[in-house]
Amino acid sequence: MPHEDPRRAGGFTARGRRGVVSVQHAVDALQRGSPTSISAVEMCYADAMELREVAKDVHACLTPDRGLGWSNSGLINRGGGMVIDTFWDLPHTRALLDCYARVTPDRPRRLVNTHHNGDHCWGNQLLADAEIIGHRLCAEAFGKDVQPAVMEALRTAPASDDAGLASFAAALADWDFSGIELTPPTTLIDERLDLDLDGIAAHLIYVGPAHTQGDVIVHLPEQKVVFTGDILFRLCTPIGWEGTFARWIAALDQIVALAPDVVVPGHGPLCGVEGPREMKAYLEYVRAEARTFFDADLPALEAAGRIDLGPYADWTEPERIVFSVERAYREFRGEPHDAPIDLMRILAGMAELREAREA
Ligand SMILES: [Zn+2]
């Protein structure tokens, strides 16, 4: 199984770039009110997605890393079909399901959500007939987290003078959060759920609170495949919410210990165990650096700007380090792992870091 870096291997990058152009054309058409624009948008999204059979009857749908929300999904085409994660909005999820319809015309009977962040489950309603499975805390978080209407308002708000808000709105330009009805899991996992999908064993294992409260990975032991959800960001800088560094690192260790041949990350290209190993090293490095600055009484944002990114400077959106430093400081202050993060302050800090880097 090739574990390519798409920026170096060439093929996927070229596909991705074509996708960027065609999506922009489609969005322009949509804004002009062309009657065919919706389907044009969905066709272009499908063009940007890459369907890969990573083992017999096991597929990954990979999206190019264009920033916030461009996530990956999976389909196990056995036992009535099981999808792993939907996408952030309805047009992208329709395009995802069109990709899967090329594998099988039958609607999948099951859907697993690896966690509650919208880029993994806001398309759930398009599989509302399926049994939707997730961790209990993932399901609970659906009602508590930011709602689609709020995101749509942020996305479409008039240009803001606030640099953080303005760059966040710009990052949402590819999405359309209208019409989303949150559809949470109803089959709930506490520790694990073992399924037999007509001969394919699928182990759904709780590993949170790491990236979020309700993180679940999907392990196919015979196929040696793990779908990690956002426990793994590959070649892109991770963002974490309610979990702890220790649990996240333990979850990455657990993935390595499963000895998969193919790891399907929540974001970024396919990899092997080098993916979780490198991300563990990143988390350990950022936590240690943050500790030094915390002990010197530097504010988190200033620390984030002072940390030398070394080999991780190549990962996309390196300014997301602000999230990790904020989380580290939260832990150093002895606060609970689900203490709310001040998103507006983080967004402003990220915009500042990005500007400083580009200057
Ligand atoms: Zn995600």
Residue 333 in domain: yes
Please state the domain count of the chain.
1
Give the closest residue to 182 by CA, choosing from 230, 113, 254, 231.
113
User: Letter for the amino acid at 226?
Assistant: V
Helix, strand, or coil here: 241? coil
Query: Ligand 1 centroid to 32 CA: how many Å?
Result: 31
User: What is the C-alpha separation between 289 and 281, in angstroms, rounded?
Assistant: 12
Looking at residue 14, its pLDDT comes to 24
pLDDT at 111 over 70: yes
Strand-strand pairing, 131-135 and 110-112:
parallel
Query: For residue 131, what are its two tokens?
Result: 């049994």
What confidence category does residue 10 fall into, taking pLDDT thresholds of 50, 70 and 90? Answer: very low
Structure tokens at 42: 């969905």
**How far away, in angstroms, is 69 Cα from ligand 1 center?**
6
Taking the C-alpha atoms of residue 276 and residue 211, their distance in angstroms, rounded to an integer, is 13
Looking at the chain, the whole-number percentage of residues with pLDDT higher than 70 is: 87
**Integer Cα distance of 38 and 26 in angstroms:** 8
Question: Domain of 211: which CATH number?
Answer: 3.60.15.10
Mean model confidence pLDDT for the chain: 87
Domain presence at residue 52: yes
31 inside domain:
yes
Provide the pLDDT confidence category of residue 23 given band limits of 50, 70 and 90.
very low
Average pLDDT rounded to a whole number, residues 57-84: 95
The pTM is what?
0.87
Give the integer Cα–Cα distance in Å for 338 and 346.
16
For residue 209, pLDDT over 50 is answered with: yes
Of residues 171 and 82, more confidently modeled: 82
How far, in Å, from the CA of 251 to the mean position of ligand 1?
A: 16
Which residues, listed in sequence order, are joined to residue 196 by a DSSP beta bridge?
Answer: 201
Q: Within a domain: residue 84?
A: yes
Residues with CB under 5 A from ligand 1 (ion): 71, 117, 119, 230, 266
In terms of C-beta density within 10 A (0-12 exposed, 13-18 middle, 19 or more buried), how is residue 217 classed?
buried
Q: How far is the CA of 120 from the centre of ligand 1 (A)?
A: 6
pLDDT of residue 8: 30
Tens of pLDDT, residue by residue over 274-322, are: 999 999 999 999 999 999 999 999 999 999 999 999 999 999 999 999 9
Distance 245 CA to ligand 1 centre (A): 17
Is 292 a domain residue?
A: yes
Terminal alpha carbon distance of the chain? 40
| CA 240 to ligand 1 center in whole angstroms | 9
Range of the domain at 236: 6-358
How many alpha carbons lie under 13 Å from residue 318 in its C-beta half-sphere? Answer: 20
**Predicted confidence band of residue 44 (pLDDT cuts 50, 70, 90):** low
Asked whether residue 227 is domain-assigned, the answer is yes
* Stronger pLDDT, 143 or 69, i.e. the higher one: 69
224 CA from centroid of ligand 1 (Å): 23
Q: Give the C-alpha separation, 338 to 327, whole Å.
A: 10
CA 226/CA 259 separation, integer angstroms: 9
Cα 241 to averaged position of ligand 1 atoms, centre (Å): 11
- Looking at per-residue pLDDT, the higher value among 250 and 346 belongs to 250
1 occurs within a structural domain: no
Q: Is residue 102 part of a domain?
A: yes
